[in-house]
Amino acid sequence: MDPLLNKVCDATIQNPKLNTSRIAIDKSLLSVELKNLNPQNEMRRTFGKRVVKIENKRGRQKLTLKSTYMVTAKESWPPIIKNIVAMKPTQAPEHATTSQSSIIGEGDKAHWFAFEHSQYYQSVQNLFLSALERTDSDFQINLIRRCPYHVDSLIQLSELCKMTEDFSLAAELIERAVWLLESSLHPSFSLTSGNCRLDYRRQENRAFFVVLFKHAQYLEARACCRTAFEISKLILSLNPDVDPLAMILIIDYYALRSKQYNWLINFYEKYDAARNLSQLPNMAYSYALSLFCQQGESESADEALQYALLMFPGVLRPLLDELSVQPDQRVITNPYFNSDVSGNQPPALHQLVCLYICRAKIVWRQNNILHWLERNVNNALDRIEAKDEVIREYCQKRVTRYVHPPRPILRHVVLSDFKEKVPLAPFVAKEKEAIMTYDPLPPLDSVNFYERKSSSSSPTTATNRSVSMFFQSLLPSFNLANTPPQQQQNAPADVAEQAAGRVGAVGAAVAVEDEFAEVDRHLQALNMNLEHAAVEGAAEGTEAGASYREITQSLTNIVEAMRDFLQNFRIAEHMQPGENDENGTTEEDTSDYFD
C-alpha cells in the first residue's frame, strides 16, 4: 500500500499540539447548512421563485408522501413500506477509538449509528444478490416490483439509465433511494452537526454513502453546486478519518463551483499537516485557485500555484488541451511539463491527474485565471532552468510516493463518470469478484450481514475481466461465454424487431408481466450485442463504432420499457412485510443462497 495515499485517506493527527487549536474550526468545517441541503432552495436563488413555483405546481405531491430535507417526494412515487429500513445507535468501532479525536476534538465526541434491514427487506436483498450470482435478470426486474425502494436495485437501474443518457430518470431513481434512507434515520442522527458517524465496513451502511455520492453528481449537473457541496461535506463527515469514497478528491471541486473559497482555504490549511493534502494534485491546484479567487494576484496565490506546477507538472499540458489553449513554445519544448505525454508519470499519480483534469476544465476557463496561470508557468520555467533545489526533491517524491492507489480512491474512480478517461483496470486486475456499482470494492475487513459467492470461477471474470465485470455489474445476465457466434450476428436485427413490435401501453397486471418479459428479451439481446461489439472492436478498431451505436439503441429500448413499468408502479399492490402470494417468492425460496 502506498504510504502517502494511504495517509491521505486514513491519516490521524501526529502532532498533539494541533489538536486543541483545531476543535472549533474542525466542527465548522464538517458541519452542514440545513437550508442548503435541498436543491429547490438553490434553484430559487438561481432561477427565481416564479420558475420553481410553476414547476412545483406541475408535480405537486400528495400530503401522504413525506418530504425530507434532501429530497422533495413526487406524486408518482409509491408510498414507503413502514420500517423496511431503520437506524440504531451503536458503539464506535475499535479502529476509531484512537482517531476520532483527531477530527472532532476531545470535547465533542462522535456518535455512531448503523442501518438495519427488516426481515422483509432482507428477503428482497437476498433475491437481489441471488439474481447477481445466478445471472438471472428475471429476479432483478421482479424485485423492483416487489420492493420499489430497494436501494441497491435503484442504484443499478440508475446506472443503466445513465448509460442511455436518460439523466433525468437516473437522477430520480437515486432521489428515491435518498428519500428512503433519509426517512429511516434515527431521531438522534443529525445531518448538520458533523459528528454523526457510519462505519463503512458494515454492509448495510455503504448504500447511504453511494447514493449520496451519486446524488451530489446529479445535483452538480443541474447547476445546484452549493447543494452538491453540502452533500459532499455530509459524506465526509460520516467517516472523516477513513474517507471511504475519497471525497477529498472532489470536495475541492464542489467548493470552487459553489464559490466557497474561504472554506477551501481553511480546510486545506488546517488539514494539510495531518492529511498531506498538498500531495494530491487536485488539492494543490484548487488551493492556489481559491487563493486567487479570494485575494487576486497575491504573493501567496503565486507561491501556491508554482508549487502545484512544479510538484505536478503532468497537469499543465492536459489541462491546456481540455481548455483548447495552445501552449507557449517554451512549454512545449521543456521536458519537465511533458511528463504526462512522455509516460514518465507513475501510474497511480497519472490516475489522480486524469481524474482532476476531467473536472478542472470548468473552473480554469476564465480569461483572468488563464493570464494568471500563464505568468506563473513562465516563473516556474525560470526556476526549472535555474535548477532550483526543490525540483529534484519534487521529482523524488513523485517517484517514491505514488506506488498504488488505496481502495477508497479506486472506489471513487468507479463511482465517477469518467471511467473511459481515468485508468482503472490495471489497479483492479487482481480482484476476485466483479466490481458492482451498488457496492464497489468492499473493504477487505468488511462486516457482512449478507454473503455472496465468489464469482472468480465464472467464465466472464476469468476471460475478460475489465470489460465483463463492468457490464455484469449493470446487467446480471451479461456473460461473454454463453452466446453462440450465430446469435451474436443476429442480435442487432432481433433487437430492432423486438423494438418495432412494442405496441400499446401497460394497463393491467398482465401487461406488467409482459413488460417484464420484454425487458428480459432486451437484456438477452443486449448481452449478445455486447460480446459481438467487443469482438468486432478488437478485430476492426474504429469500425466497431457502428456496433456500439446498436448497443446504445438496445439500452434505450430497455430504459423505455422500464420507464413504462415505473410509471405503473401502482398497478400491483405492494407486498407488506410477511405477506405471501401464490406467484411471489417467499423468504424460504432464498434459503439455498446462504452458505
pLDDT tens, position by position, 394-404: 999 999 999 89
Of 158, 170, 210, 176, nearest in space to 70 by CA: 176
Return the higher-pLDDT residue of 498 and 420.
420
Distance between CA atoms of 5 and 403, rounded to whole angstroms? 9
Report the percent of the chain where pLDDT is more than 90.
Answer: 46
Q: Which three cell numbers stand for residue 474?
A: 449493470
Is residue 452 very low, low, confident or very high in pLDDT (cuts 50, 70, 90)?
low
Q: Residue 132's pLDDT is what?
A: 77
Return the higher-pLDDT residue of 74 and 244.
244
- Residues 362, 369 contacting (CB under 8 angstroms): no
Highest mean predicted confidence (pLDDT) among 50-54, 152-156, 206-210, 588-592: 206-210
Highest mean predicted confidence (pLDDT) among 133-147, 227-241, 333-347, 528-542: 227-241
Of 9, 575, 470, nearest in space to 236 by CA: 9
pLDDT tens, position by position, 270-310: 999 888 999 999 999 999 999 999 999 999 999 999 999 99
* Overall average pLDDT of the 247-263 stretch: 97
- Residues 392, 383 contacting (CB under 8 angstroms): no
DSSP states of 209-243 as a string?
A: HHHHHHHHHHHHHTT-HHHHHHHHHHHHHHSTTT-
* Overall average pLDDT of the 500-520 stretch: 41
Q: Residue 100's pLDDT is what?
A: 40
Distance between CA atoms of 200 and 209, rounded to whole angstroms? 8
Residue 471, in any domain of the structure: no
Same structural domain, 97 and 207:
yes
Q: Is the pLDDT of residue 115 over 70?
A: yes
Q: Residue 45's pLDDT is what?
A: 82
Residue 344, in any domain of the structure: yes
Q: Which amino acid is at 511?
A: A
Distance between CA atoms of 278 and 560, rounded to whole angstroms? 46
* Overall average pLDDT of the 316-326 stretch: 94
Q: Residue 2's pLDDT is what?
A: 46
Return the higher-pLDDT residue of 58 and 569.
58
Q: Which three cell numbers stand for residue 442?
A: 468492499
Residue 326, in any domain of the structure: yes
Number of domains in the chain: 2
Crossing angle of helices 485-500/545-566, nearest 10°?
Answer: 50
Range of the domain at 541: 479-574
Looking at 401, 431, 463, which one is the last position of a domain? 401
Q: Residue 341's pLDDT is what?
A: 57
Same structural domain, 339 and 232:
yes
Report the percent of the chain where pLDDT is more than 70.
Answer: 64
Q: Residue 55's pLDDT is what?
A: 54
Q: Residue 410's pLDDT is what?
A: 96
Same structural domain, 54 and 193:
yes
- Residues 209, 245 contacting (CB under 8 angstroms): yes
Residue 114 host element (H or E) = strand 111-117
Please state the separation of Cα 447 from the chain's center in Å.
21
Of 141, 61, 80, 99, nearest in space to 559 by CA: 141
Helix (H, G, I), strand (E, B) or coil at 117: strand
Is residue 135 very low, low, confident or very high in pLDDT (cuts 50, 70, 90)?
low
Same structural domain, 332 and 208:
yes
Same structural domain, 243 and 363:
yes
Residue 323, in any domain of the structure: yes
Q: Is the pLDDT of residue 14 over 50?
A: no
Same structural domain, 52 and 189:
yes
Looking at 367, 401, 435, which one is the last position of a domain? 401
pLDDT tens, position by position, 419-448: 788 999 889 988 888 888 899 999 999 888
Return the higher-pLDDT residue of 475 and 95.
95
Q: Is the pLDDT of residue 385 over 60?
A: yes
* Overall average pLDDT of the 516-521 stretch: 50
Same structural domain, 391 and 491:
no
Task: Indicate the average pLDDT of the chain.
Answer: 76
Helix, strand, coil abundance in the chain, percent, nearest 5: 65, 5, 35
Q: Residue 322's pLDDT is what?
A: 94
Same structural domain, 393 and 506:
no
Looking at 368, 401, 434, which one is the last position of a domain? 401
Residue 212, in any domain of the structure: yes
Convert 279-313 to b/e letters by CB count within 10 Å (16 or more is b). bbbbbbbbbbbbbbbeeeeeeebbebbbbbbbbbb
Least confident of 89-98, 205-214, 261-270, 375-384: 89-98
Same structural domain, 391 and 537:
no
Distance between CA atoms of 383 and 370, rounded to whole angstroms? 20
Residue 515, in any domain of the structure: yes
pLDDT tens, position by position, 207-219: 999 999 999 999 9
Is residue 345 very low, low, confident or very high in pLDDT (cuts 50, 70, 90)?
confident
Residue 528, in any domain of the structure: yes
* Overall average pLDDT of the 185-206 stretch: 94
Question: According to the 3-state scheme, what is the secondary structure of 307-349?
Answer: HHHHHCHHHHHHHHHHCCCCCCHHHHHCHHHHHHHHCCCCHHH
Distance between CA atoms of 500 and 515, rounded to whole angstroms? 14
Same structural domain, 395 and 499:
no
What is the torsion angle, in degrees rounded to the nearest 10, for the CA atoms of residue 369, residue 373, residue 374 and residue 378? 160
Is residue 12 very low, low, confident or very high in pLDDT (cuts 50, 70, 90)?
very low
Distance between CA atoms of 460 and 471, rounded to whole angstroms? 10
Residue 156, in any domain of the structure: no
The upper half-sphere exposure of residue 162, i.e. CA atoms within 13 Å in the direction of its Cβ, equals 22
Return the higher-pLDDT residue of 453 and 46.
46
* Overall average pLDDT of the 536-557 stretch: 50
Distance between CA atoms of 374 and 394, rounded to whole angstroms? 21
Same structural domain, 212 and 349:
yes
Q: Is the pLDDT of residue 589 over 50?
A: no
Same structural domain, 101 and 189:
yes
pLDDT tens, position by position, 361-381: 999 999 999 999 999 999 999
Q: Residue 553's pLDDT is what?
A: 57
Q: Residue 22's pLDDT is what?
A: 40
Distance between CA atoms of 517 and 521, rounded to whole angstroms? 6
